[in-house]
Amino acid sequence: MSNQDATPINGESSEEHASVEAIRIVLADDHAVVRSGLRMLLDNESDFEVVAEAANIEDARRYVRGHHPKVLVLDLNMPGGSTLEAIPTIREEFPDTHIVVLTMQKEPAFAREALSAGALGYVLKEAADDELVEAVRRAAVGESYLNPRLGARMAAEPPPGPPDDLSEREVEVLRLIALGHTNAEIGEQLYLSVRTVETHRSHIQQKLLLSSRAELVGYALDRGLISTEREPGS
């Protein structure tokens, strides 16, 4: 039987059914060239509809509020605050919109945090041509997607148990403090606001009963969180 002879589902034409089933998407990335390429990729799918593009977190939230998309494709590093911190807020405010994170970050810690925060997908930008469409389709029906190579690394490298009741994020902040980074630099590296870094620092000092940076450096050295050799670029 030819496609022309096929019986429409529930009496609908194929065009009407496609319209009903269209996956509405808000695309958020702060680089216009990147957004253009991603939109071309998504627009090639007949059942995808990119309803808005955002260049910062606040616009992304506003467009999700206005367009009620099924999927928000969200760059991990955008102006307007911490994307990682925005994920649970967006999910709480718009529970019917699922989030696919698109990023250059290959470290398992970032993937773990994004997925724990509520994202359903984690796609590396270098693999977007091959993986983003599948990630969006899975997210639209409430299924997760993780870059396969990154998933293999996460399975092979389970997160180490944090020392002295520190969270994994607090260990990361402590390590960067010990390496001499400012709160602003730490926030930039970990996609956190300066205020959040300050809060983590306060919690670290309270848990470890340490007050000075010198004491934090000594603690980090003793626990093997840093070495006495300078890291490249430090």
What are the structural domain ranges in the chain? 3-156, 163-222
pLDDT at 13 > cutoff 60: no
Please calculate the CA angle 181-173-191 and round it to the nearest 5 degrees. Answer: 85
For 51, phi then psi, to 5°, come to -95, -15
pLDDT for 25? 98
pLDDT at 107 > cutoff 50: yes
d(CA 135, CA 114): 14
Token pair belonging to 35: 């957004």
Quickly count: other Cβ atoms within 10 Å of residue 164's Cβ: 12
For 221, phi then psi, to 5°, come to -65, -45
Token pair belonging to 177: 């403090």
pLDDT for 190? 87
pLDDT digits over 134-193, tens only? 999 999 999 999 988 888 888 776 655 566 788 888 888 998 998 889 999 998 888 888
Percentage of the chain surpassing pLDDT 70?
A: 85
Structural fold of domain 3-156: Rossmann fold (3.40.50)
d(CA 124, CA 107): 11
pLDDT at 117 > cutoff 70: yes
- Per the confidence metrics, is the pTM higher than 0.75? no
Q: Any idea what DSSP says for residue 98?
A: E
Q: Any idea what DSSP says for residue 230?
A: P
pLDDT for 222? 78
DSSP class per residue in 210-230: --SHHHHHHHHHHTTSS-SSP
Q: Is 1.10.10.10 the CATH number for 163-222? A: yes
